Every structure is written in C-alpha cells, then in structure tokens.
Structure 1
Amino acid sequence: MSTIRGIEHIGITVPDHDAAVSFLKAAFGAEPMFSQTASNGGPMAAEDVGPMNGLRAGTAMKKVSVLRMKHGPNIEVFEIDRPAGTPATNIADYGISHFSVNVSDVYAAAGAFAEAGGELLSDPYDLGGPEEGPGNRGVFGRAPWGLLIEMEQLPAPMSYYPDAEARRWLPGQED
C-alpha cells in the first residue's frame, strides 16, 4: 500500500486565469511556480489531454498555472475555453464546495482577501464545537469568480470526541 503524504494540489477552473492568479497572489501571497500551454503556445485541446484528465471533447485548456501556497497544498488554476456547469458552488452542492486556508491572523487575512477583490460573507467569528478555543476564529468569502474560500485561525488546541480516531493536522505541525 502506498503512503499518503497529504494533498499536493487543488485544481480550480476559473473564467479568467490572469485575474484569478492576481487575486490569489494578492489575497494569500501565492507564488506562481509555472504556467503551461500546448507546445505551440496555444490552448491544450481535449483531444490531446482529455484521455488523461477527462477534459470534455470540444473544449480546450487555454491557460494553466500552479501556485505555491506556503505551508499547504498548491493551487492549480485552469481557464477552459467553454466551461460547463455553474460558475459558483454552494456548500450544499455535490463536489468540492470550498477549501480552507489556515492563517495566523484571520482579521488581516480577511482584509487582504477583501482588498484583493474577494467578498466576505461575514465578519470573522469565533469557532464553536470541537474547534472552540481562545482565539480560534474563521470567516468565509467568495473569490471574484465565485469560489467559496474559508480562512481559519486556530491557535488553541481542539477538543476531540472520546471516540475520535485521529487528530487534526495543521500546517507547520508534525504527524
């Protein structure tokens, strides 16, 4: 059996590649590592990459970049020439509804997120349940293209249910 080391990257399809990369850089300090197009410099056609990644026939990946997100998974940003589906997810929809960024200061992170063009759904709030603790706060926001992103500050240890089989991993912690 292979050892699972963690999530390496999260892929996000966006309506405007360059705007999304700019937003992720401004909101989270993401650092572009590389961008990719077809060998001719144009879009990557579904006929070429679809057998590998499931890209729907008749579409193409216009631009793809991978950005480093410090101490967590990398973010892969795709712009597709004819995307399908709805532009924004809701936490009640099937599939990945959001991702969460662990931050040291949720108020500063929320400010950078809003200044970069994101829309905060509320002010930062105290976390409850097993995440409750002094200074543990969170806030959700929507990226300019509609993706739901959560920011969490977790300086206090979590409380666990007696039958918990595992402990939460946070960036910067050893197993």
Structure 2
Amino acid sequence: MTSDSPVRGIDHVGITVPDLEAATAFFVQALGAKVLYDTLAKGQPPQEGEDLERRLRFLRGSSIRAMRLLRLGNGPSLELFEYAAPEQRPPARPNDFGLQHFAVYVEDMDAALARFQAAGGEVFSRPHELPPLEQGPGNAFCYARAPWGTVIEFISYPSPQPYENQTALRRWKPPQRD
C-alpha cells in the first residue's frame, strides 16, 4: 500500500514533569524505559527568552530547565521536559481538550500494572475488555496515572480483532520481543 503522506509514524511523545530525575526514575522502574540522552542537562543554563516564548507559545517568564529523551520498548520515545513557569496547571483530564494520554502495549497486563503500582503509579481499575471492534480473547485495556498526573493506558490485543474483517489496514503493534 502506498501513501502520499510524508508521515512515517510517531517519533516521540513530550511530557512536562515537575522533577526530571524523579520522572525518569519512575519511567525506568514502571515501564522499563532507558535514558537515551539529555538535550538540556540539569545545571546547564535554562532555555528562555522572548524567541522561545514566541516559538513555543510560553507564558512570559517561562523557561526550560531540563530535557531528556527516553527509549520505551519498540515504539516512540518519551521526551521529558522540566519547566519553570509563572503559572503551571495539572495535566489535562481525559475529558479535556488536547492530548489526554499515551498507551503502552504490554504482553502481560497483570505484571505490567503491578510494576507500575510498585513504582508509585495509580491504576484506575481492573483491566477491561476492549470495545466491540477490538474484542477478542485476552484483548484488554486499563488506565493509570503517573505520580505527577499524566494518564497512561496499558493495552494488549493478542487475538485478532473484528475490525480486521472490515479493512485491509491494520493498527501498528510493537514487534514481539526476541
């Protein structure tokens, strides 16, 4: 199948965190993330000023204190940002406009959720069966929240899904681990 879109896929998801080191430790412990590099290490001069405020639509007086890229399994990276700003709000709730969560594919839902909780995350409920066009044995999802409020969905769909009978297109799924 060919496409006229220049987009190849999602490269990374950016997340603002209150403490870069604590968030990194959480993602390493909870999701097995690995640190790739620091774009702006703590202790370096912050990125700030009118040009940055204009480019990123920051509130006046905001600055980036630290940035780090994490590798998360076989999918997009996570880019963590620690900002200083005159006014910061908690993350959006799923019913608010804007990016509301990211999802991680897991082989073992119970083990993944236990690891997430042990790292300090909050699991909202027990895993639920996926909706009708995604249902199948073992196909499930569960929402959870990182300690600073970012919502993360855990999802697994080892069985064929009913939508596959309606289209030749398939959703992207991380490859099996060796």
| TM range, smaller chain | 0.7 to 0.9
CA offsets 1:107-132 (integer angstroms, 9 cap, x no match)? 11101110111000001222231111
CA offsets 1:30-70 (integer angstroms, 9 cap, x no match)? 111111338x8121114353344333331100111000012
**How many residue pairs align between the two structures?**
172
What is aligned with 1:30? 33
Moved more, 156-165 or 107-116: 156-165
Shift of 1:18: 1.1
The percentage of aligned residue pairs carrying the same residue is 40
Give the AA of the match of 2:81: F
Shift of the 2–163 alpha-carbon distance from structure 1 to 2, 3 Å rule, reads: closer
State the alpha-carbon separation in 2 of the partners of residues 128 and 60 from structure 1: 42
Give the AA of the match of 2:77: N
SS in 2 for 1:160: helix
Moved more, 163-172 or 136-145: 163-172
State the alpha-carbon separation in 2 of the partners of residues 43 and 64 from structure 1: 10
Alignment of 1:25-174 (within 5 A): 25-37=28-40, 41-47=44-50, 49-82=52-85, 84-160=87-163, 164=167, 166-172=169-175
Root-mean-square deviation (CA, aligned residues, Å) is 2.2
Shift of 1:83: 6.3
State the alpha-carbon separation in 2 of the partners of residues 46 and 69 from structure 1: 32
Shift of the 2–125 alpha-carbon distance from structure 1 to 2, 3 Å rule, reads: closer
SS in 2 for 1:20: helix
Segments of structure 2 that go 5 or more residues without pairing to the other structure are none
Shift of 1:162: 6.4
What is aligned with 2:13? 10
Give the AA of the match of 1:75: L
State the alpha-carbon separation in 2 of the partners of residues 81 and 91 from structure 1: 24
Segments of structure 1 that go 5 or more residues without pairing to the other structure are none
Give the AA of the match of 1:74: S
SS in 1 for 2:58: coil
CA offsets 1:123-174 (integer angstroms, 9 cap, x no match)? 122223111101111111010001110001110111117665732111128x
Moved more, 47-56 or 76-85: 47-56
Q: TM-score, normalised by structure 2?
A: 0.87
SS in 2 for 1:149: strand
